[in-house]
Structure 1
Amino acid sequence: MNPTEAPDRCRIVLIAPPREEPKRILSAFEGGDVASLILPQWEADDDEFQSYAEAIIPGAQAAGLAVMIAGDPRIAARCRADGIHFEGSKQALAEIVEKHQAKLMVGTGGATTRDDALELGEVQPDYMFFGKFGYDNKPEPHPRNLKLGEWWGEMVRIPCIVMAGSDLAGLAAVAETGVDFVALSAAVFGDGIDPAQAVARANELLDQAPRFDEG
């Protein structure tokens, strides 16, 4: 994540939806503070995904974002991304951490229970993600993700991201858990939404949320 002049409150992580235009993704950063961008591979083949990532990563990094590739780790290296987002078994995650974490951040997710999250956390990823890409189709964040995020933040020092819903009004519920980052996708890149305006509004809402030093 980008620590430069980071505000002392929950920050935004953007998740690119399927087949979103690179220009539209890059336009979102004009709306203000964004910590990181996760690029899922979705259904694209490796060559298509690499070309897509290469069209976005330089502009995102120039805007101060860390870019995570949720796909083949080799693509992350070729595209000079900042890290890898991997969801899988503890053993597979451990192998990726051992092989790549010296040069790239390695984040993970996919846990739906406390026990699963702690298992993955033992491998010491750079962050834990609660939620599922593409499942932010309801206005509110999923209650389970909110509870897991709040619990994780109280118990574990590894940073945590919680998936928000499709309506920016749900940001308050995420920020109030005390988590480090809130993930947005449909609320920023949905049909008829101006990404820059959505990011600007999201930052306004997060500025009204409790600061980390307020508990």
Structure 2
Amino acid sequence: MNEATPPNRCRIVLIAPSGVPAARIVAAFDGGDVASLILPENGMDEASFQAFAEQIVQADGIHVEVSKAELAETIEHFQAKMMVGTGGAKTRDDALELGETRPDYIFFGRFGYDNKPEPHPRNLSLGAWWADMIQIPCIVMAGSDIASVEAVGATGAEFVALSSAVFADGTDPRTAVATANALLDETAPRFED
């Protein structure tokens, strides 16, 4: 998203929480490598959401948490034009079922539930299993502490999602992203080419 040659390790995906000003989101990009941004609608009507999103970045994908059939329909309709990612899997079977539709990524975690310092153990377990077994990239939700990127990176997941660790009140988004990148540079396993 903001670097010509991405690092060959787990990368950051930002998830904008409800109410965060566009300027704070844009400031986070100055902290170094950010692979992607997920902008949940957070209850906004379509026109308001579109106006908010356009202040930050041009959309090149959609994230949906729906049934396998609805996901397959969404992929068929949109994947030729943009990325289609999914989430909502709570078990390996759920994840495999969603994976059968071949989304561009699968997300383990829930938006807005990164309220503990560490990542949820289930998300770490699913991410490690998925990264080891499946070729479709995964994103694992980190905790509210920026250091939680280390636990996610150790799973082998391609991406770590950060929200409150970057956008909480009193946190400088640029510094938080820079710190997360430094931790991943130090500790995350390197991917094979």
Q: State TM-score, norm by structure 1.
A: 0.86
Select the residue among 79, 89, 95 that pairs with 1:117: 95
Q: Look up the match of 1:29.
A: 29
Q: Look up the match of 1:63.
A: none
Structure-2 separation of matches of 1:120 and 1:3: 30
Residues 138-181 of structure 1, C-alpha deviation per residue, up to 9 Å, x if partnerless? Answer: 00000000000000011100000000000012111111111000
Pairing 1:184-195 to 2, within 5 Å after superposition: 184-195=162-173
Which amino acid letter does the alignment assign opposite residue 75 of structure 2?
V
Pairing 1:153-168 to 2, within 5 Å after superposition: 153-168=131-146
Q: Look up the match of 2:113.
A: 135
For structure 1, which runs of at least 5 residues remain unmatched after alignment?
59-80
Change (3 A) 1:196 1:2: closer
Q: State TM-score, norm by structure 2.
A: 0.96
Structure-1 separation of matches of 2:189 and 2:43: 38
Q: Say which SS state the counterpart of residue 80 (structure 2) adopts.
A: coil
Structure-2 separation of matches of 1:210 and 1:14: 18
Task: Report the count of equivalent residues.
Answer: 192
Q: Look up the match of 1:78.
A: none
Pairing 1:10-89 to 2, within 5 Å after superposition: 10-58=10-58, 81-89=59-67
How much does 1:213 deviate?
4.0
CA contact (8 A) 2:2 2:33 kept: no
The sequence identity of aligned pairs, in percent, is 65
Structure-2 separation of matches of 1:9 and 1:199: 15
CA contact (8 A) 2:114 2:164 kept: yes
Structure-2 separation of matches of 1:26 and 1:210: 25
How much does 1:3 deviate?
8.4
Q: Say which SS state the counterpart of residue 48 (structure 1) adopts.
A: helix
